[in-house]
Amino acid sequence: MTTWQNHHSDRASLEAELLRQFQRAEGPYRRALSLLESAVPHESPSAEEITACLSRLEPIMRQTEEIEKDLGPCRQQWLQRGYQAGPALKTLFQQHEQILGTLIRRINLLEERMQQFKREVRPEVDSIVRHQQMQRAYQSAGKSASY
């Protein structure tokens, strides 16, 4: 086999592996996106809805993490060698990028909503804590005064 044939064969096998890995990753990413879209209303989800969804999302994201770990070395070789993607891989890259972009935007929205809940609850919690501290202080003062 000539150097060119070796290079072409190497490129083709690497591209085939990338295709396989990206196709493998697509399923869990689509399931995660579907879960987010079905489990959490787009407008004003409650903290309970978000928490329930995130607990169901966690195992899917662990699965995608494993796939991404497997994909890493292959992706690194591809980038280091400066290969250009063929039509099938380009299409898959675009689909993958679109799914990930949508997934990231949805997760960011949920994170923003949870931060909003935190900001709304904090003054209420602070008020409750101050009230409890005052009650304890009055109880202690009442016990001290009765001696």
> Is the CB of residue 109 less than 8 Å from the CB of residue 50?
no
> Is the CB of residue 93 less than 8 Å from the CB of residue 85?
yes
- pLDDT tens per residue, range 27-69: 999 999 999 888 776 677 888 888 888 889 999 999 999 988 9
**Closest by alpha carbon to 60, among 93, 94, 26, 92?**
26
Domain borders along the chain are 3-145
Task: Label residue 2 by pLDDT band (50, 70, 90).
Answer: very low
Structure tokens at 46: 């409650």
